[in-house]
Amino acid sequence: MNIPPPLDPLLPDLANEFANAPIVERYGLFPYADALAYQRHVRNELIQGGAERLIFLEHPPTVTWGRRTHDDEVLNGEINLQNLDCPSVRKVRLQSGEMEVTFVPVERGGQATYHAPGQLVVYPIVHLPRRGWSVRDYLQRLQKIVIEVLSHLGLNSRCGDDEAGIWIEDRKIASFGIHLRRGVTMHGLAINLDVDMDGFGLIRPCGHDPSSMTSASAELGRTIARDEVETRLLRLLVGAFTLSLKT
């Protein structure tokens, strides 16, 4: 497990503002398999009495798939999920050219997803029973926070009708995946800010046509950088997780 150097804290006085706040960690590009191993490590620490954490990062181009993924969700004929040694790095051809993509199976629910630079990912490693939350309660709070962050950008978004994602009309801009063990969460949320959308053409993201995916930059016609949304997202998440703790 290789952990990249952390980025500087966005809100260094956050612990003074929110007592018992989860530890916030920020990283740049974090290879998916290493990030997965790190999540498991932090989760095991929390189960044994360690600290909760909110992990903000981006991933290099990566396809992941959960328990409900079918082979036909991969649209690139050169890739067969059943025959991959995982994690596996493959060169694939996209409209924009050739690119190396990592393929990683995961224990979360859901179907195939794509991660790439320009997509802000947050992994909350938190204890739901301390808050009296069900998985549904937790997901609904994450959805509400993402909708609020997008609204601040001027984007009117909504929850999906039959799945966990966030949509702008018929275009999906954010995804969620959750795994729970002994009340502690893993995985989390991903918001497409300024991501190269070509990579989504490798799969049927969460079972949808690749053309249904969008990003904040595509919707607004300008570049939306990570630092334009991260502070607000961080503050909302820390507030939600801290203020909901049972006393």
| Known catalytic residue at 159 | no
Side-chain half-sphere CA neighbours of 41 within 13 A: 10
Sheet with 119-125, strands from edge to edge, namely 23-29, 53-58, 119-125, 184-192, 171-181, 166-168, 158-159
Contact 181, 166 (CB under 8 A): no
Q: Which of 24, 101, 149, 206 is catalytic?
A: 206
**Cα 192 from Cα 153, distance rounded (Å):** 13
The vertex-157 CA angle with 151 and 225, nearest 5°, equals 55
Cα 219 to chain centroid distance, Å, stands at: 20
Largest CA distance in the chain: 55
Among the listed residues 90, 155, 131, 85, the one whose alpha carbon sits nearest the alpha carbon of residue 243? 131
Residues contacting 208, CB < 8 A, separation 6+:
172
Q: Point out the residues that are catalytic.
A: 206
